Amino acid sequence: MAELRTEPNDPSAAVLERARARYSPAARKVVDAGVDLFAQVGFLATTIRDLTRSCGITAPSFYNHFESKEALLYDIVRTANSALEQRLDALEVDTLDPVDALSGLVYGLVTFNLTHPKEARIANREWVFLQPAMRDEVSTHRRRVRSLFEQVLASADTQSGLLDGAHEAVPDELEIRLLAMSILNLGIASSDWYRSDRPLTIPEVGNAYCRLALRMAGLAPPAAPRTPSPRKNSRPRT
Amino acid sequence: MAELRTEPNDPSAAVLERARARYSPAARKVVDAGVDLFAQVGFLATTIRDLTRSCGITAPSFYNHFESKEALLYDIVRTANSALEQRLDALEVDTLDPVDALSGLVYGLVTFNLTHPKEARIANREWVFLQPAMRDEVSTHRRRVRSLFEQVLASADTQSGLLDGAHEAVPDELEIRLLAMSILNLGIASSDWYRSDRPLTIPEVGNAYCRLALRMAGLAPPAAPRTPSPRKNSRPRT
DNA sequence: TACATACGAACGAACGCTCGCTCGTGTGGC
DNA sequence: GCCACACGAGCGAGCGTTCGTTCGTATGTA
């Protein structure tokens, strides 16, 4: 079970904040500007001069804080990735039943992406511009997260046979990977349309995506939704 | 109903091919190189010199065929968009029941993206680098496609009340938009993992995504899948 | 208190390079 | 003879980055 966490609401926010404490105040400004610009116009379209202008220094001063433009991207991506990974690992999904495990993963993923939409966008879309060595490391992290989802979906399948892949030509293993990729993409897409000034709160959207993911996995009835069971403190209900 | 179509399998391939007939052989080579490179490394990371080198001409010769690098991107994006739109419009979804309509849209979207993965990737990811005027036009096309999905999902909801949004704080309209965005993203994601040398054929994947979308919309039972009804010629079953 | 030292952080100037793109010219097939 | 299409040369602009230097402040020592 996962009742050990102390943060009541969003542990990843604390993780992300702590990771940023290692920057000096000046470097922190640079990182913030990088997060803004990389998320808004992309890594390639962002110039050092754009970046430094938006935080009140000149281009050369950038290199007092980071080795290169790419090093800044790497810092941002790695920080976001490990914050998400810590959050999902803390769920200890292998101790939960499939419904709670999948719900927890989706809720954690979606609320992370909505709470830190810029960091999430960069981690999801811009990491491909890193050099192969760094990119491979990032790739490993992403694969680890994906395998969390696949593991839960596989155990949901073997434990209760709820997936309906058997009636088609699609093997279970591929159906599971397809499902995992799709659900992960939901989380990425969520931050594309969500705006914090909308009528929905982040927990509400998180729960909506949980129901959606359960339906996708065949773990929830479509027309007569099951009454939600009492939830862990990490996944508040509305 | 939609029994008027003549192409038995993939009408969008014909549409795309016809659209390319307007290019001279030399220009066609340039377009092909652009499709390859824009899809592989992105519009910004592709240089005119990369592009022309890969099709055997020099950089200046490029401008005998296209006004600018951006004009080439615009051509590619617009062609792909209108091919997809023609394909989905031809379904005449408003004459179908919700299950067939949603299945047809998802099947059309997914098989289009898998048949033309490079064009789809460009149309989905690179169009943002166009100037505002062109981008707005592309935006309109994309909104039109999205509204096709929203319209089908809305009619599915009002006709049969299958969506379970009512039991939560999420209004139906937002639930529908969330669903539409999610299903559209499935199609985009599909071309990220599908490789044609895999054991699955494109129609198989298309049907897998159909079942997934139906589950997402609450239009199919999760554990005991409904036996598929006889299908239109535009959506072959395995 | 007073001075020497060290350091974080900023700067202007400029480097080498590549970008998208243009110009004037050559040339081969209808 | 013409014209579509290729070419080499080269443009101005902007890129990421480096360099040498300065400024202000904190700290340690006498």
Is A33 in contact with A116 (CB distance < 8 Å)?
Answer: no
Mean pLDDT score, A30-47: 94
Q: Indicate the pTM of the whole model.
A: 0.86
Question: Which tokens belong to A160?
Answer: 């209760």
pLDDT of residue B222: 42
B13 interface with A at CB cutoff 8 Å: no
Mean pLDDT score, B145-174: 74
CA of residue A138 to C1' of nucleotide D17, angstroms = 25
* Helices B202-216 + B98-115 axis angle, to 10: 140
The residues in A 147-176 lying below 8 A from B, measured between CB atoms, are 162, 164-165, 167-171, 174-175
φ/ψ bin of A41: left (φ > 0), alpha (ψ from -120 to 50), beta (otherwise): alpha
Look at residue A65 and give its three-state secondary structure.
Answer: coil
Is B5 in contact with B90 (CB distance < 8 Å)?
Answer: yes
Query: Could you identify the residue written with the tokens 């319209």?
Result: B151
Mean pLDDT score, B45-74: 93
Nearby residues of A100 by Cβ (< 8 Å), 6 or more positions away: A229, A232
Is A234 in contact with A1 (CB distance < 8 Å)?
Answer: no
Q: How far apart are CA A197 and CA A117, in angstroms?
A: 14
Closest by Cα among A74, A77, A80, A47 to A62: A47
Q: Residues whose CB falls within 7 A of nucleic chain D? A: A 46-50, 59-60, 62-63, 68-70; B 24, 26-27, 56-61, 64-65
Task: Answer whether residue B3 shows pLDDT above 90.
Answer: no
A26 CB closer than 7 A to any strand C atom: yes
Task: Answer whether residue A231 shows pLDDT above 50.
Answer: no
Question: Which tokens belong to B47?
Answer: 């240089």
Question: Which tokens belong to B52?
Answer: 């022309």
Roughly how many angstroms between the first and final C-alpha of chain B, as a whole number?
22
A25 CB closer than 7 A to any strand C atom: yes
Mean pLDDT score, B148-171: 71
CA atoms within 13 A on the CB side of A200: 24
Cα nearest neighbour of A219 on chain B: B222
Task: Answer whether residue A228 shows pLDDT above 70.
Answer: no
Task: Answer whether residue A226 shows pLDDT above 50.
Answer: no
Q: Write the pLDDT tens digit of every residue in B89-142.
A: 999 999 999 999 999 999 999 999 999 999 999 999 999 999 999 999 999 999
CA of residue A26 to C1' of nucleotide C3, angstroms = 30
- Covered bases, chain C (protein CB within 7 Å): 8-14, 18-24
Element (H, E) at A85: helix A69-89
Query: Could you identify the residue written with the tokens 């939704």?
Result: A225
pLDDT of residue B229: 39
Nearby residues of B221 by Cβ (< 8 Å), 6 or more positions away: A221, A222
Q: Write the pLDDT tens digit of every residue in A97-132.
A: 999 999 999 999 999 999 999 999 999 999 999 999
In chain B, % of residues over pLDDT 90 = 61
pLDDT of residue B223: 43
pLDDT of residue B174: 82
Minimum-distance CB partner of B162 among A199, A222, A238: A222
Task: Answer whether residue B167 shows pLDDT above 80.
Answer: no
Q: Write the pLDDT tens digit of every residue in B203-238.
A: 999 999 999 999 999 887 544 433 343 333 344 443
CA of residue A227 to C1' of nucleotide D23, angstroms = 66
| Contact state of B216 with A219 under an 8 Å Cβ cutoff | no
Residues of B in contact with A220 (CB under 8 A): 222
Cα nearest neighbour of A164 on chain B: B223
pLDDT of residue A74: 96
Query: Could you identify the residue written with the tokens 């909801």?
Result: B157
A197 interface with B at CB cutoff 8 Å: no
* Helices A69-89 + A11-20 axis angle, to 10: 150
Task: Answer whether residue A236 shows pLDDT above 80.
Answer: no
Specify the amino acid at residue B115.
T
A56 interface with B at CB cutoff 8 Å: no
Q: Write the pLDDT tens digit of every residue in A161-209.
A: 555 544 555 677 888 888 999 999 998 888 888 888 778 899 999 999 9
pLDDT of residue B108: 96
Residues of B in contact with A103 (CB under 8 A): none
B199 band by pLDDT with thresholds 50, 70 and 90: confident
A24 CB closer than 7 A to any strand C atom: yes
